[in-house]
């Protein structure tokens, strides 16, 4: 394997996958467990695929400690479809839903929810270009649910505690970009969803974790592909599911268990993030983080350099040094390092070292 070419991949999504997972998929590609075919080629009704999807579900329950009063769905349409499915299913006609807006993704969720009914913004940090968490909230105690985004992938803001909401109001969360990056208390949530391609697998599958009482809210007239209740009852097999993507997230769940579970993964993620934030903080202002320290994401780290010209040079030279995907999103500008589960400590150290050297040459 000495000729294997792998870069340090800081892409924001689709993002890096663990090498071991890719190698296992490669080894099983032509002949999955003696079937003589790939998971891509087999019936989604076969007993082999049933075992793939059931194992993925069981491993996720195990990793996140999900109790039996929650259903797990493997759906298509990305987190973006959840922005619409959620109000269609959970917000009864005439009711209103509350949204916490902390970045591009929660703002986009509001935009979709508004098309379909009453939507309130209970807090927003837009005035400071989403560089912090809200200090105060104005929740509606009668809201159908409260929606927030646990990690804002573009702005690099992450919640480490759930917002405190009125009792009895269901809490709903977009956890796309910090999914399985650390333990969370699922019992605090009515519903969680995550597009897999940020931290848990390839694009094409979205994991939805929904408490049973939320499924009872689904109205009767929804098209079936938008209907949580039916999709959950059919155990994600109402129609052909994204079978290969489900297989891949299943391998990532197994990998996460092998790494020691989410507490062990969090430890590594904290170490990686600290390496990159230290490189920013010790640069004497050459590198400037977008987010105030208390709200810094462990997954996505946006930062600026003294000029756009230097930022372009940084991206180019980093790429030549095997550090890929560091150009930031245009709404924040500058650079963004995404240090998802599959990015190694070695990768974070390589980035930190490159940052120090680049500053020496250009500071």
Ligand X SMILES: *Cc1c(COP(=O)(O)O)cnc(C)c1O
The answer to whether residue 261 forms part of the interface with ligand X (CB under 6 A) is no
Tokens describing residue 229: 């209740």
The answer to whether residue 177 forms part of the interface with ligand X (CB under 6 A) is yes
Question: Near ligand X by CB under 6 A, which window of 65-73, 171-179, 308-316, 339-347?
Answer: 171-179
Min dist. Cβ of residue 309 to ligand X (A): 29
The answer to whether residue 181 forms part of the interface with ligand X (CB under 6 A) is no
The answer to whether residue 153 forms part of the interface with ligand X (CB under 6 A) is yes
- Residue 47: exposed, middle, or buried by beta-carbon count in 10 A (0-12, 13-18, 19+)? exposed
Q: 102, 125, 149, 341: which one contacts ligand X (CB under 6 A)? A: 149
The answer to whether residue 13 forms part of the interface with ligand X (CB under 6 A) is yes
Task: Given the residues 59, 71, 98, 105, select the one marked as catalytic.
Answer: 105
Min dist. Cβ of residue 114 to ligand X (A): 16
Task: Given the residues 59, 71, 98, 174, select the one marked as catalytic.
Answer: 174
Counting residues that bind ligand X (by CB under 6 A) gives: 12
Min dist. Cβ of residue 109 to ligand X (A): 7
Residue in this structure with the two tokens 């079937």, named with its chain if needed: 35
Min dist. Cβ of residue 223 to ligand X (A): 18
Q: 53, 60, 79, 144: which one contacts ligand X (CB under 6 A)? A: 79
Could you tell me if 174 and 147 are in contact, meaning their C-beta atoms sit under 8 angstroms apart? yes
198 a catalytic residue: yes
59 a catalytic residue: no
The answer to whether residue 174 forms part of the interface with ligand X (CB under 6 A) is yes
Min dist. Cβ of residue 201 to ligand X (A): 11
Tokens describing residue 101: 């807006």
CA end-to-end distance (rounded Å), the chain:
38
The answer to whether residue 202 forms part of the interface with ligand X (CB under 6 A) is no
Q: 24, 38, 80, 313: which one contacts ligand X (CB under 6 A)? A: 80
SS3 47: helix
User: Closer to ligand X at the Cβ: 125 or 176?
Assistant: 176
User: Closer to ligand X at the Cβ: 205 or 262?
Assistant: 205
The answer to whether residue 176 forms part of the interface with ligand X (CB under 6 A) is yes
**CB closest to ligand X, residue no:** 78
> Which distant-in-sequence residues (6+ apart) come within 8 Å of 191 by Cβ?
86, 90, 145, 170, 172, 173, 208, 209, 210, 211, 214
Could you tell me if 248 and 202 are in contact, meaning their C-beta atoms sit under 8 angstroms apart? yes
Question: Near ligand X by CB under 6 A, which window of 62-70, 112-120, 163-171, 174-182?
Answer: 174-182
Tokens describing residue 346: 């070695």
The answer to whether residue 272 forms part of the interface with ligand X (CB under 6 A) is no
Min dist. Cβ of residue 103 to ligand X (A): 8
Whose CA is closest to 79, among 194, 190, 178?
Answer: 194
Could you tell me if 350 and 323 are in contact, meaning their C-beta atoms sit under 8 angstroms apart? yes
Measure the CA–CA gap between 339 and 15, rounded to whole angstroms: 9
Could you tell me if 202 and 16 are in contact, meaning their C-beta atoms sit under 8 angstroms apart? no
The answer to whether residue 159 forms part of the interface with ligand X (CB under 6 A) is no
The answer to whether residue 297 forms part of the interface with ligand X (CB under 6 A) is no
Whose CA is closest to 152, among 190, 104, 118?
Answer: 104
β-pair partners for 323: 8
Task: Given the residues 198, 229, 272, 327, select the one marked as catalytic.
Answer: 198
Whose CA is closest to 55, among 259, 252, 341, 187?
Answer: 252
Quick one: CA torsion of 280, 126, 178, 354, rounded to 10 degrees? -20
105 a catalytic residue: yes
Could you tell me if 305 and 286 are in contact, meaning their C-beta atoms sit under 8 angstroms apart? yes
Residues lying near ligand X in the complex (CB under 6 A) are found at 13, 78-80, 105, 149, 153, 174, 176-177, 195, 198
Q: What is the set of active-site residues? A: 105, 174, 198
């Amino acid at each position: 394997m000495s000729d294997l070419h792998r870069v340090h991949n800081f892409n924001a999504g689709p993002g890096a996958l663990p090498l071991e997972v890719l190698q296992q998929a490669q080894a099983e590609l032509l002949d999955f467990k003696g079937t003589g075919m790939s998971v891509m080629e087999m019936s989604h009704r076969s007993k082999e695929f049933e075992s793939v999807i059931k194992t993925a579900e069981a491993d996720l329950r195990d990793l996140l400690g999900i109790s039996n009063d929650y259903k797990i769905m493997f759906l298509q349409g990305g987190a973006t479809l959840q922005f619409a499915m959620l109000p269609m299913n959970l917000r009864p006609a005439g009711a209103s839903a509350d949204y916490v807006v902390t970045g591009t993704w929660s703002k986009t969720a509001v935009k979709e929810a508004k098309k379909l009914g009453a939507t309130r913004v209970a807090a927003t940090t837009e005035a400071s270009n989403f560089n912090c968490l809200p200090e105060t909230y104005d929740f509606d105690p009668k809201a159908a649910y409260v929606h927030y985004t646990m990690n804002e992938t573009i702005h690099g803001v992450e919640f480490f505690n759930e917002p405190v909401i009125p009792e009895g109001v269901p809490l709903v969360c977009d956890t796309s970009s910090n999914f399985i990056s650390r333990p969370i208390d699922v019992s605090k949530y009515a519903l969680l969803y995550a597009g897999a391609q940020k931290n848990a697998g390839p694009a094409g599958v979205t994991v939805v974790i929904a408490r049973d009482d939320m499924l009872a809210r689904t109205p009767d007239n929804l098209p079936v592909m938008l209907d949580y209740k039916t999709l959950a009852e059919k155990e994600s097999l109402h129609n052909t599911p994204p079978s290969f993507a489900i297989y891949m997230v299943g391998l990532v769940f197994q990998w996460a268990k092998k790494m020691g579970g989410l507490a062990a993964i969090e430890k590594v993620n904290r170490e990686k993030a600290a390496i990159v934030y230290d490189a920013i903080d010790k640069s004497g202002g050459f590198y400037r983080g977008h987010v105030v320290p208390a709200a810094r994401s462990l997954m996505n780290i946006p930062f600026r350099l003294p000029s756009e010209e230097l930022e372009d040079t940084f991206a180019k030279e980093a790429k030549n040094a095997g550090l890929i995907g560091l150009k930031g999103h245009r709404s924040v500008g500058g650079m963004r390092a995404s240090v998802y589960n599959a990015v190694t400590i070695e990768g974070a150290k390589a980035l930190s070292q490159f940052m120090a050297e680049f500053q020496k040459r250009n500071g």
